[in-house]
Each structure stands twice: as structure tokens, then as C-alpha cells.
Structure 1
């Protein structure tokens, strides 16, 4: 939409600059002959066509490289990057602006102000183009992508944390059958829910709304989306509109999807075709940081939205710490069990989690420690090699081991 709006705004701005010339005294330095104005505007049109084509071709190249070396699920974040939209919008807007001015050039009319503005727009476009190249060349590195995704996941998780004090609500689900079940009209992934809209609707109708699926779940058509407990249930179509269902998951309300993208990048690096465990270890650094943000947080009450009086109104499905930890580590451990660098980095990650997460989360960390030990028992039969592979090392291999103990098969 941004390039489209800029393309429409270009001719409108051109008409505005032509209208302004009759009301403004133009400095001599801004005045051009007919031939000069035509040559400048024609050159600007050609330059903008070439730059726009290059950016589109560069974008296609990025998509190809990213889907091969990173994860196709990262593309959604890249498509939404504000700089890319700004660059394309500036290029297309400058192109249509110059074209609209070019048709105004004649023996008796030269859009002097417009030609000057077009020259400034070209200068801005070139600067944005250089920034665009620098930014996206650096952002194609897996480690850079990993930290971008981890920060996005941490931000989403923190935004969805309950803001009020913890209250012992017990089982907030009402007894008895629901008064209404809302079914999906089409299949797809639950991309987001309107938390405020659901709360306002439940409060207005004095009912309790229960979501049947978590954000990120794939639901077939006709599946139950919401259950309503109350005497006067809201309109089903209105409730259906408070959930966004699309073709793929998004990261906006789904921090687990951030972990999914990071794991995909890591296991792709661990595949025999790539065989790049160093990249996997770098991605584990981003995974560790995101897990620490989650593990150091109080996850109680995340499945309940209460009204101003503290009464539960909306019950949502959230993923437990155990689920998120298993999502982050299981596949990397399975594919990287024969990579000494990866197992040592995993051991260091688990050490850091055990030392910093909340007490109620440590049992899941200990379970992952046992799973890593069992994986080493299966894939590394030599005791000396297994002892070396089990030592925690924040760099994988080459850093100072954080402990000289090894995992016990018990």
C-alpha cells in the first residue's frame, strides 16, 4: 500500500507545485529553460525506473537466498520492513512526480519549482538506496536474522504479559454447557485475537468467553473457535470477527512462532547438506536470550483476561513453559547430537537457564538436561568423546567451559 499511495501522490504533488508557481516569486537559481527542464526530468524518470527495477530484483534475490539458507517463515518480517516500503514508495513517487511534470513542460510553461523538488527527491532516493543496500546485506546473515526474530518474540511476549497483580482465580471456566459455540468459516491459522474487543464484548453481555485454540494453531473450517457461557450470548458473527485467521502464522501475538523460526534456521544449518554447526550455536544465543525473557517471567494468569472488578471474562489458550522449552531445544538436540560444538553450547544454555529461571520452571530445564544426556549416550558411544561433548561451553568449542562436570546417564 505504501508504494501505491506514493504513486498516486506523485501526480497530485506535481499539480500542486504547478499551481504554487503562480503565487510564489521563484529565485533565479530555481529557473530552468525548456530544454534543461525536459532533459532533467527525462533523466530522473529513467533513473527512477532503473533504481526501482534494481530494488525489485534485489528483493527477489533476497527471497531466494533467505528461503534457502534461513527460513521461509522469516519472509513475513522482511516483507513488513518499514525501510523497504519507504524506499519503494520514494522511488515510485518520484517517478510519477517527474512524469507528471514532464508533460507540463512547453515553450511557455516550465515547472521550475517542480524540477527543483524532483532533483531533491532523486538525491533523497539515492541516499535511501545506499542505506537499503547496507541494511539488507547485513541483515541477510543468519545471526543478524536470529537476533531480529528473538527481539521481536521478546517484545510480543512482554506486551502480552498481564499488567495487574496475580490473583488466585482457581478454575475460571463456568460449569455447565456453553450457551453458544462459534465456528470458523474458513480454514487457516489463528494469527491474532482482539483481546480488548473480546473483553468489552464479554463485559457488555455479562458472559464468559472461552477460546478453544491458541494463537498460532491451525484450525480446519467448521472448527469451534469460541465458547460462550452466559444467558444472552453476543452475536456469533461479531465474535468471529474478533479473531484473525489467515494462511500462515504471524509473530504479532505468537512468541512461540519466533522460537519456531529460530529453530528452523538452526536445524537447517545442522543438516548434512549445509553442515554449519557454528551458525546453529549463534542461533542458540538468540534462543537462549528469548527463553530467559520467558523463563524469568511469571506465567500465571496469562490465560485469563479479567474486567475492572477482577472477574474472569475471557479464557484463552496459552503455551506452558515446558512446551516453549521443548519447542526451542528438541529438534536442535535431535539434529545436533553428533555435533560436539552444538551439544556443548546446549549444555551451557541449560546451565544458564537453570541458574536464572523461576523456581517453578526449573523442573522442565532439568528434564531437558536429562534428554541431552540420553542423546549423548545414544549417539556418542566413546566415553572420552562423550565427556568432552557434554561440557558446557558458551562458544561451543574454544571458550572457557563453565563446568567440568559431565552429564550422568541416570
Structure 2
């Protein structure tokens, strides 16, 4: 019998070995267009690679696909931080696309996540359309702002108890990590940074600066004790039109323990000398900054997708978060990619600060949806009611949609503060 010339060639999935990392990572770079990353960034990602969570797809002696995962803690509604697989470094060479390589990598990875006992997998998507078929739902948005700093005002009252201090990135790292760690449980979607991840905001390759200065760090501290209260990391690109300065400050991140310190840090950024525009590309959609500025229309906020969430174990994941209101609903869940999730689940919780339960049931279903919709709603930033309006959730018992949609809500919009 003649072989089908269009059939997919055989390929093998194998755990990544340290000696294969360079070829594996080069495969990823080629999958994303071929440009090599600066050595500083490349070294960081090698150091952070979890080899026991990384897989290479091989065609003979060549790596033709890659997939990895990082071990994160993810903050969820209610303040808990739950284990989550941070899916990363996923790519297939252009020569081997549409042959089942990506599907095989995703299936293999989700089975491994389940075996490790993690109920959640999360990722950021280069192309969002790809990952819906694997059960990932968009769960958070990011907001970009471009602020004409000379055209807006941000009121603040000088506070002698707070001191601002400009420090080097490495010098300020421990204080920044202390502030960041305190904030993680307060907003869903934030990642608990494990050892080694403090290096991410410190990596500042000259080849990636696009004309901006080396990254700067300003610390806000208690003037009496020196205790860190907040920080901002940013870079500046100066420019001139004749004798008139028109520079730009690009904000990497701003975090603070109190509203007063948060306002003080933004005042500092908006008052930088020789700067006309302050830009930030990843802020929460409910950023208090929008309510501090004198003219929000000039900010022109724009939205983009951020974190995608996949429930690997529906029962464990839904029981592992808090709920904003009492709820008792039976969910008819479809999940073709991870069939162990399919079927009816009763979700019950007496209300905020009460433990939740999610168990198999034979009771009639109140809502019908796929695991993708559960991923979108999981962190409280996408409502089940909105998904129902798009025809993606079906109400089977009158009133069940409103009950569940309210319960899944969050006081603060979920936000992913940095990529991976």
C-alpha cells in the first residue's frame, strides 16, 4: 500500500534535557519569527526553565516543537493563592504546523498538570484563537494608557511621613518584592513570585530598550522607619523639537500599599523633567489612576487580553476560590479535551468568607457551559451573564444565571502584572 504523501510524519514527545535546551529554545524563536533574543534575556529564561515540566517534540534528530510550564501560585477571589501551571514556551516550527504537533503537546501537558495535582493552568496567548479549543478562556484584561503629563493634573498633598528615593534596580529589588508579595492575595490574577522570579523585572537588556534609558526604580518608604511602602520602575527616552523637550517615560510597574502612596508615585512619574508623555502598557482595568487624573479623556485607555485560565480539575478549582454571594447551582460542563471534567457538578457556597464545595451530582442542571467559559469567569473579571449574552452559557433554571454570575464576581478586577 502506498503511503499518503500528505499524512503527518511521525514525531516523538520527550522530556527536555539540559543539553538540548539551546536547540529547543531556538525552535521556539523560529516559531515566533526567528529573531534571537538578547543574551541577557536568553540566560534568564534558561535559568527559569523547569526541565521536568518542559517537553520537546522531535522529528528524527531535530526539535520541531516545544512546550513548558512554570510552577506558580495564582491569587483567586477570596484571597487564597492556589497552585497553577504557567504554560509557556509553546511553539511549532513552520514546517510542521497543522500536523497535530501542538495538539499532542497540549494534551500531554494537561495530563501532566493533572498528575501533579494542579487544578489550574494559565497562559498568555500570542494568538488567542489558538487556545480556546484546548479549553482556555480569557479571564483578564490589561489596560494601556498614554498620559500627556503636561495636560492633566493629579492632586496630592505633600506627606512628610513618606520619602521617595531613587535606587538601582538591584538595590531596590528586595524592597519591591516585599511590597509585591503583600499585594498578591488582594487582587485575583496576580502571580506569587517563586525564587528566581525576582530577576524578571531586573533584566534590562540594552538591545531591548528601543532608545530608552536603563530602567530606573523609585522607592516610597516610611520616612521614620525606612519600611518600603511602594515602588515604580520606569525608563525615559528624551527627545527635542528645537529647544522644546518632548520625552517619554515608559512605566514598567507601579505598586503601593496605600492609596496615598500610590497617588504619590504617579505624581512623581507625571512630574518628571523633560517628559511630555507617560505610557504604561499593562495596568488593571479598574486602576485608581483613572479616578485620580483631572481629565481622564486625555488618557485614552485601550484594552487588550491578558491571562487565559484553564480548569484542569473542575471540582477542585471551583471549590478552591471564594464567592461574592451565596450560590447553589448545578453546572453541566462540557470538556472534550479533558473528558474527566465533563458532566454535572453542584457548586455550593454559603457566601463570602465561607468554604465552597463542588462535587459530582445527578441532579438536573441549572446552567450549561463548557470548561472554557468557566476559565473566563474563574477570576471574577468576566461575568457569566456576559457570556450568556454571547450565547456561550445557557440558563436551564430561571434565576440560576444571575445567582451564579453574582457569586463569581470580584471586588477588584483580576490583573496579571507581568508576563511569563
Report which of the two has the higher share of helix: 1
Report which of the two has the higher share of strand: 2
User: Normalised by the size of structure 1, how large is the TM-score?
Assistant: 0.24
Flag the structure with more relative contact order, 1 or 2, with Cα contacts below 8 A and sequence separation at least 6. 2
